[in-house]
Chains A and B, each alone.
Chain A
Amino acid sequence: MIDIQNFKQKSIGLSILHVDANHKFLENSRNLLQKLFDNVALSDNTTSALQILKENQFDILITDIEFADEDGIEFIQELKNFSPNIKIIVITAHDTKENLLKLISLGLFKLLEKPIHAPNLVQTLYDAIISIEEQKNAQLSHEQLEEKNSLLTFLETLCQNQEIIQLHNYYKGLSITNNALIKNVGTHHITFSTSDIQLQAIQYETKTIVTSELLNSALVCKNILKLEFNSGTVNFKDFILHKTSPILRKAVRVNVESLHSVALSINEHLFLGNISIADISVEAVKLELDALPAGVHLANNSIKIDINIQNGLENVVLNADGKYLREDENDSSYSVVFMLSYDLAQKSALVKYIAKRQMELIREFKRL
């Protein structure tokens, strides 16, 4: 038995046309089809059906091949001219043996005999939408393959012309970026030459983002095959294209390792779970929560964030209004990013802290 809910999910956006001379049959069919599809059309003759098919794109056609003074086979032949991919289900009481070969050559999806049982029809329709889905996926991966090929050609050109590209990594929130050249590229590997500092950052983080002024989106490389300081090169297994260009941070962000406390209030209710700061910039903070507050969504509520970070003699004290930006689920916690707005008088200590922390991280990184 096909679950209607499941069916409806898969049929989203699909449309179906049913053509039959029997009005009573069409009426019953409408009741069923409307439960299964968003977009249902009916017609009692092939002339108007052709008109409907010319004006709109349909995914599935149910039709009889027996009409009073029209030829169902000719109808299918004709509609194939402008709807070559439509799934055709023929339901007929007519003896089809003589037409079966013809129908098969016209790409018949399924032949059902009248009288029809609803569960049989539902099953057939379900098979049809699965087949449509599979075709779409096959098309997609074909496009992806073409995309990868043209990307490869593009990267080969960058390599041949020795175009300067940029590699981006992070060390504890600190952005590390240097120029690089593509030394070698193939379908499943890419080699860059870059500075020692960048190699060190790659060794630490592995995941590397590659950008170029000539490329709208960015490449992401995740698996190192070989990294060599002597030759100043790194060889990655595979690379993928980021569909959207990754947000390269503008504001300097650092992770916070010193002692600190955070209080988060949502609509003046204090959040009682454990909170810590993952990283902070002058614009935003990423908080690590052991659970998300129950029952409220952070996006539409008034958020207050009070922060105190130990920093030598002068602590960073921030009483900020937070604006929810996004959240991520980690293994055993949630990280939520809030944009911060706070009194300008509080900014100076935060800037000093981030600047100091930035130097600290650079020193730490250089010692790695």
Chain B
Amino acid sequence: MQNQEKILFDNGTHKFIMFSFDDETHEDSYLSVNQYLIVQNNMGVLIDPGSEAIFDELSEAVTKHVALENIKYIFLSHQDPDVSGSITQWSVTTPAKFIISSLWVRFMSHYGFLDMGRIMSLPDHGAKIHFGENYIQFVPAHFLHSPGNFSLYDSLSKILFSGDIGAAIVPAHDEYKHVDNFEKHKKNLEGFHKRYMGSNKLCRAWVSHVEKLDINIIAPQHGLLFEGGDAQLFLEWLKELECGSDLLSELY
């Protein structure tokens, strides 16, 4: 069995956990998927829980850290199936409220939802949820790649969940999934980012926003974690990246 769980932060009352449950294994162009869970004082915030196919495994793994009835929020960075495909299952098994960009609220019924009382829609500028002196912040990341897209920053663990930003196409790892040589890792980032991200202008807007945050780890939805200096290197790289509309001529 693969190592499908890694505790990224734990101070006794606050935990940040990474899971790696993949729903399908394509031999080539393998896009590994990470799910995350924050447990703050026995209350859970689940991040991008993924597709229906991994629901059983993931919910079992989550239960080891927090009872399902104590999951208070489920954050969906955007509308993609690898992010939101299991909304129905989670709505059945938890009392959680779903946090998602207001752009996707009207599509919720297609995922099995008519109860808007259980949806907290995020305005474009995002929002903050405070707990004590600390907070969880939903940082705008629009068009990177989804037009209604958010990253999540946890001020206590100093972990930035970046969604599809920082996604890498890498073979499945048995060991701890983190970048150990950024220069070498670039090639795993390039293809995905050039095609999926909106434009350099949008990348810069996001970087200039998150640069102000005190970050220990950047945790993407796909691929490997960026820790310490590698997080800085990644932000520098993204700032200079030409992508999306910058490369229009390649699309037409």
Binding site for B on A (CB under 8 A): 166, 168, 171, 174-179, 197, 201, 248, 250-252, 281-282, 344, 347-348, 351-352, 354-355, 358-359, 362, 365-366
Contact = CB atoms under 8 A, between A and B. Distances in A.
B206 to A, nearest CB: 30
Interface in B60-103: 60, 88-89, 91-93, 95
Nearest to B96: A250
Nearest to A166: B117
Contacts of B115: 175-177, 252
A177 B60 CA distance: 29
Closest 4 pairs between A and B when the two form their complex, measured CB to CB: A177-B117, A250-B95, A355-B88, A175-B115
Given A197-B109, A362-B109, A366-B109, A175 B92 contact: no
Interface of B: 52, 55-56, 60, 88-89, 91-93, 95, 109, 112-118
Given A197-B109, A348-B56, A358 B88 contact: yes
**Central interface residue in B55, B56, B93, by most chain A CB within 10 Å:** B93
B112 A359 contact: yes
B117 A168 contact: yes
B93 A351 contact: yes
A260 to B, nearest CB: 18
A299 B12 CA distance: 40
A175 B95 contact: no
A366 B88 CA distance: 17
Contacts of A344: 60
Given A351-B89, A355-B89, A362-B109, A177 B116 contact: yes
B193 to A, nearest CB: 34
Contact of B112 (A179, A201, A355): A355
**Central interface residue in A168, A252, A347, A354, by most chain B CB within 10 Å:** A252
B89 A362 contact: no
A174 B114 contact: yes
B116 A251 contact: no
